[in-house]
DNA sequence: TCCCTCATGTAAGTAGTTACATGATTTC
DNA sequence: GAAATCATGTAACTACTTACATGAGGGA
């Protein structure tokens, strides 16, 4: 969030109320100590201002911080990667070269596909059973998992084809 | 997971490799201390067995435990309810009265709808801009959020109409 | 006057995970 | 005879959140 503008700890919190806040939120209890830590590491620096008698510390990212952030965006993801964590990163990828992001998305797609295949296997077990009604909500949550991953793959393809914008506008007809 | 059968701590971990594991997983470091705590509270009891020279503690739920669990399933959800947390609960609702679950789902739907309206507001801000291409991934993640919540509402309606099974079977054509 | 927003920060608590220690059985 | 599985458990650590403490400015 500091990549474009210098911000206070309070501003950072505000930023997480929408946008990336869909995927990641933090409290002051984690923001302020982290800013201090990042400052010690030379990732950020701050200037103390006084705006209409109110003191504030405005944090700006350093070159080192920028470099480290770009590394973090493109590094190989841990094997237990969560969808929300992936989205939180993708949200900040606009300044990266397109091919880097596409590669990242392809890795992600593969993992999602593997998970989906596991769920298909699980479904087979359920579909064999004769007393499916007894497990209606277990089946429903499995159905949820499958549709979620299927639509996620569809979404990946839309994004890769640079068609997100069209789809976003198209959907308008469903708004209330 | 103990609701139907008595299980060991090890078994519980195994159970989370599929099924509810889609939404919630725990490590031994949290399972064993929790089982002890639940035992002290009278929610579960255990019998020490020796199966082919291996010692094991098999945990069974008590009436008090069952009662408390049913309360937990139906209680009012905290305002910061996460979708995965809701699904984890729903997974264990098969033994409950249908009307109770339907009510719970209706509450859930309302909250999802409210979130969706917030995202529509956010979209309006983006669609006003002329330099949308600069925020392609921010727009893509917003598009992800919107489609996710829309398909979640569709899913809720399918589940409420008791049509999950049909849809689950229908989807077979997409399997690889 | 009261409440909301701006603004920084800490102490205590929550809810776990990771890595290790231990040891038997079973399968390749 | 090595590796995987069954089985229980703990200590150290991670990564936060919640609630509190403090205080100024602005609007109803």
pLDDT digits (tens, 9 = 90+) for B13-47: 999 999 999 999 999 999 999 999 999 999 999 99
In 3D, which of A141, A152, A22, A84 has the Cα closest to residue B156?
A141
Subunit contact B171:A87, Cβ cutoff 8 A: no
State whether the beta carbon of A33 lies below 7 angstroms from any atom of strand C. yes
Chain center to CA of A133: 36
- Whether residue A111 is predicted with pLDDT greater than 70 in this model: the reply is yes
Give the pLDDT of residue A120: 93
Instruction: For A116-157, write each residue's pLDDT tens digit.
Output: 999 999 999 999 999 999 999 999 999 999 999 999 999 999
Q: Does B112 touch chain A (CB under 8 A)?
A: no
In 3D, which of A31, A29, A25 has the Cα closest to residue A9?
A31
Give the pLDDT of residue B96: 97
Strand C nucleotides within a 7 Å radius of protein CB atoms: 6-12, 15-20, 23-26
What nucleotide is nearest A29 when CA is compared to C1'?
Answer: D17
Total residue length of chain A = 176
Q: Are B72 and B93 in contact (CB under 8 A)?
A: no
**Phi, psi dihedrals of residue B41, rounded to the nearest 5°:** -80, -5
What residues does A46 pair with on adjacent strands?
Answer: A59
Q: Are A23 and B119 in contact (CB under 8 A)?
A: no
Q: B53 CA to chain A: closest CA distance, Å?
A: 32
CB neighbour list of residue A170: distance below 8 Å, 6 or more residues apart: none
Subunit contact B18:A122, Cβ cutoff 8 A: yes
State whether the beta carbon of B35 lies below 7 angstroms from any atom of strand D. yes
Instruction: For A33-83, write each residue's pLDDT tens digit.
Output: 999 999 999 999 999 999 989 999 999 999 999 999 999 999 988 888 899
Does the predicted model carry a pTM greater than 0.85? yes
Give the pLDDT of residue A161: 93
CA distance B112 to B89: 16
Q: Does B122 touch chain A (CB under 8 A)?
A: yes
Which residue ranges of chain B lie beneath pLDDT 70? 172-176
CA distances for A35 relative to A27, A41, A50, A51, A172, angstroms: 12, 10, 19, 20, 39
> What does R_g of chain A's alpha carbons equal in angstroms?
21
Give the pLDDT of residue A174: 66
The percentage of residues in chain A with a pLDDT greater than 90, rounded to a whole number, is 85
- Chain B from 46 to 105: CB within 8 A of any A CB: 87, 90-94, 101
CA distance A79 to B48: 36
Identify the residues numbered 53 to 92 in chain A whose C-beta atom is closer than 7 Å to any atom of strand C. Answer: 54-58, 80
CA distances for B69 relative to B24, B29, B47, angstroms: 16, 22, 21
CB neighbour list of residue B86: distance below 8 Å, 6 or more residues apart: B77, B108
- A20-25 long-range contacts (CB < 8 A, ≥24 apart) are A20/A88, A20/A91, A20/A92, A20/B141, A22/A87, A22/B119, A22/B141, A22/B142, A22/B145, A23/A84, A23/A85, A23/A87, A23/A88, A23/A91, A23/B141, A24/A84, A24/A85, A24/A88
Q: Does B175 touch chain A (CB under 8 A)?
A: yes
Q: Does A167 touch chain B (CB under 8 A)?
A: yes
């Amino acid at each position: 969030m500091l990549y474009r503008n210098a911000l206070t700890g309070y501003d950072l919190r505000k930023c997480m109320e929408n946008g990336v806040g869909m995927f990641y939120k933090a409290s002051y209890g984690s923001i302020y100590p982290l800013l201090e830590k990042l400052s010690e590491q030379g990732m950020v620096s701050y200037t103390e201002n006084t705006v209409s008698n109110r003191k504030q510390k405005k944090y700006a990212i350093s070159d080192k911080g920028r470099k480290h952030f770009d590394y973090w965006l493109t590094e190989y993801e841990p094997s237990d990667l969560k969808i929300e964590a992936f989205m939180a990163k993708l949200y900040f990828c606009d300044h990266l070269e397109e091919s880097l992001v596409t590669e990242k998305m392809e890795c992600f797609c593969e993992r999602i596909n593997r998970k989906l295949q596991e769920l298909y296997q699980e479904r087979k077990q359920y579909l064999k059973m004769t007393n499916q009604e007894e497990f209606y909500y277990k089946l429903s949550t499995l159905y949820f998992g499958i549709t979620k991953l299927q639509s996620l793959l569809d979404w990946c393809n839309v994004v890769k084809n640079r068609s997100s914008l069209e789809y976003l506008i198209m959907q308008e007809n469903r708004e209330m």
